[in-house]
Amino acid sequence: MVDILTENPHDVIVVGGGNAGFTAAHAAATRGRRVLLLERGPVGMHGGNSYYTAGATRIAHGGLDDLRDTLEPDDRHERTIVPPYSSEEYAADLAKVTSGRNDPDLTAVLVEESGPALRWLKGLGLRYRLMYERQAYERADGSFLFWGGLHVGNVDGGEGLIADHTRIAAELGTDVRYDIDVRDLLVSEDGRVIGVCAVDAAGARVEFRSESVILAAGGFEASAELRRAHLGEGWQHAVVRGTPYNTGRMLEAAIAIGADRGGDWSTAHSVQWDAEAPNNASNREFTNRLTRQSYPLGIIVNAEGRRFLDEGADFRNYTYAKYGGVILQQPGSVAYQIFDAGLRPMLRTEEYDMPGVGVHEAATIGDLARSIGVPTGALTETIEAFNQSIDTNRMLDPTIKDGRRANVTPPKSNWASALATPPFFAYPVTCGITFTFGGLRGDSDGRVLRADGTAIPGLLVCGEMLGGLFSGNYPGGSGLAAGIVFGRRAGSIA
* Euclidean distance between CA atoms 221 and 87, whole angstroms: 30
Report the percentage of the chain scoring pLDDT > 90.
97
Cα–Cα distances in Å, from 205 out to 4, 182, 236, 245, 247? Answer: 9, 10, 31, 18, 19
* Euclidean distance between CA atoms 64 and 122, whole angstroms: 16
* Euclidean distance between CA atoms 365 and 378, whole angstroms: 11
The pLDDT value recorded for residue 189 is 96
Task: Name the helix (H) or strand (E) containing 87.
Answer: helix 87-97
Task: Quote the Cα angle for 241-245-247, to 5°.
Answer: 95
To 10 degrees, the CA torsion angle through 300, 302, 308, 311?
A: -10
User: For residue 186, which of 6, 438, 25, 31 has the smallest C-alpha distance?
Assistant: 6
The pLDDT value recorded for residue 8 is 56
User: For residue 435, which of 16, 13, 14, 12 has the smallest C-alpha distance?
Assistant: 16
Tell me: pLDDT of 368 over 70.
yes
Domains of the chain (ranges, CATH numbers): 2-219+438-493 (3.50.50.60), 269-432 (3.90.700.10)
Task: Quote the Cα angle for 342-362-386, to 5°.
Answer: 55
Contact 382, 301 (CB under 8 A): yes
* Euclidean distance between CA atoms 324 and 184, whole angstroms: 33
- What is the pTM (predicted TM-score) of this model? 0.95
* Euclidean distance between CA atoms 109 and 106, whole angstroms: 5
The pLDDT value recorded for residue 7 is 37
What band does 2 get if pLDDT is binned at 50, 70 and 90? very low
Tell me: pLDDT of 5 over 60.
no
Q: What mean pLDDT, rounded, does the chain reach? A: 96
Tell me: pLDDT of 282 over 60.
yes
* Euclidean distance between CA atoms 83 and 145, whole angstroms: 8
Tell me: pLDDT of 272 over 90.
yes
For residue range 14-53, what is the model confidence (pLDDT) as tens digits? 999 999 999 999 999 999 999 999 999 999 999 999 999 9
For residue range 153-196, what is the model confidence (pLDDT) as tens digits? 999 999 999 999 999 999 999 999 999 999 999 999 999 999 99
Q: Across the strands, what pairs with 192?
A: none
* Euclidean distance between CA atoms 207 and 195, whole angstroms: 7
